[in-house]
Structure 1
Amino acid sequence: MALAPRTRTSAPSFWGSTIGKKTVMAVSGLIMLGYLAVHMLGNLKIFFGADEFNGYAHWLRTLGSPFLHYEWALWIVRLVLLAAVVAHAVSAYQLSRLDIRARPVSYVHKRRRASYATRTMRWGGVILGLFIVWHLLDLTTLTVNERAWAGHPYENVLATFSTWYGNTIYIVAMAALGLHIRHGFWSAAQTLGAGRARRERTLRTLANTLAFVLFAGFVSVPVAVMTGMVN
């Protein structure tokens, strides 16, 4: 008696599953959040004068010396961040497409149950993506910074925030960042299993605090330049 042929059934891959994409999005988001916290603290060195800020910028390029060559550590950080940004953006896009396919017909009665930050996560991500490109062209490659002075980051920051458009772009992007972190941190905690009913208030408070501190810390630099506190 012949046996019936076996049918191969394989579980969906980690990346192919919704929980896998959400986990990648959460982990990559936390990597970027850690970088943003360090980056903000470094930016605040501008309040201690040109020598300290420029010295800090030089130290970033010699980090790990003599074991690592000049700028190697900085490039490692850049590559990790690039991988995190790409993974975050791709997983967010694919999750969005899955959500649309699961509900192709819009609800008849639209209800605004989600927070403002939740509803604006998508366009906020687009704003941040465009800002990253502009920020690199402005203060890394110095392409769009008309008064850029290679090797003088303190002066280049002042040049950027001495223009109305430099301040506008930066502050709008930081507002989008604050909203993104406010919702994203809480969502990441839920995805990674840290969210519990008794912890919800604590997690939301922490998310709001992180969003406000990062927003205030980043925005304090252009505000200080505009008001003459840093010159």
Structure 2
Amino acid sequence: MHWTTECCSPSVDRVVVTTRSPIRSSVGLKAVMAVTGIVLVLFLIAHMLGNLKIFTGQTSFDHYAHWLREIGAPLLPGVWFLWILRTVLLVAVLAHIGAATTLALRARAARPVRYAHRRPVQGSYAARTMRWGGVIIGLFVIYHLLDLTTGALNPVGDPSRPYANVVADFAPDRWYVTLFYTLAVVAVGFHLRHGAFSALRSLGQQTPRGERRARAVALVLAVALCAGYLAVPFAVLTGLVD
């Protein structure tokens, strides 16, 4: 809230009150990033656990994939639940990116003059990682939807055969798909590690000991998520799953 005075006459001042929406403040934008980040992380964990069901066999995995399409029935017809979920995730991603971009622009505007000489710091490294990582993740999401959701780029191309789609997708002769998948997952890991550390630090872990604890938790979370996602393509690539 900002207070200003305007002179209406030689003897009368008028007080004008201007307000800014709390969600547009820096604190509000950080809260948006935190909430949307939690939504996205929970989805990543749930999606990873679902992917790991491929190790239980084709019948179990296909049953799980078909069950996802039937969640909410008969209240929700067809695949409405999946479309609702996709909409929520899209809104969360756009809000997350928008809040992060606004905060970055404000930080840059607050220090318009760059230092002539400064040592590279972890913050700048993290920022660069988040930028190129975001591009890779965005491209991968588009490819992933065309590949395993619509089947347009999949060798099998039949959404009703999810197990066969996954096995065909990461076959040895399609090593480039596994490579792209790995790069995207590693980018997610870097993004998650930095985001989780920042969130934990904002929650009060600002002492040297607290920061070390936050770094350890963020690293473990990122590594566990990367390992869970990469287990599937490399299992197919090595013949453990066929």
| TM-score, scaled relative to structure 1 | 0.91
Which letter maps to 1:106? R
The 5 A counterparts of 1:195-214 are 195-197=205-207, 199-214=210-225
Q: Is the 8 A contact 1:40 1:218 kept in 2?
A: yes
Shift of 1:117: 4.0
Higher RCO structure, 1 or 2 (CA under 8 Å, sep 6+): 1
Corresponding residue for residue 237 of structure 2: 226
- The RMSD of aligned alpha carbons is 2.0
Question: Is 1:81 matched up with 2:89?
Answer: yes
**Stretch deviating more after TM superposition (156-165 or 82-91):** 156-165
Aligned pair count? 230
Where does structure 1 lack aligned partners over 5 or more consecutive residues? none
Shift of 1:84: 0.4
Shift of 1:169: 1.0
* Deviant stretches of 4+, over 6 Å: none
Q: Is the 8 A contact 1:26 1:187 kept in 2?
A: no
Residues 134-188 of structure 1 show CA distances to partners (whole Å, capped at 9, x for unaligned) of 1111111122223322300111111211212210110000010111100101212
Q: Is the 8 A contact 1:27 1:188 kept in 2?
A: no
Which letter maps to 2:205? G
Q: Distance in 2 between matches of 1:131 and 1:206?
A: 26
Structure of higher CA gyration radius: 2
Which letter maps to 1:158? V
**Stretch deviating more after TM superposition (88-97 or 209-218):** 88-97
Q: Is the 8 A contact 2:155 2:165 kept in 1?
A: no
Q: Is the 8 A contact 1:32 1:81 kept in 2?
A: yes
Q: Is the 8 A contact 2:205 2:211 kept in 1?
A: yes
Corresponding residue for residue 183 of structure 2: 172
| TM-score, scaled relative to structure 2 | 0.87
Which letter maps to 2:169? T
Corresponding residue for residue 194 of structure 2: 183
**Stretch deviating more after TM superposition (1-10 or 147-156):** 1-10
Where does structure 2 lack aligned partners over 5 or more consecutive residues? 1-8
Q: Distance in 1 between matches of 2:112 and 2:151?
A: 44
Greater share of strand = 2
Identical aligned pairs, as a percentage? 47
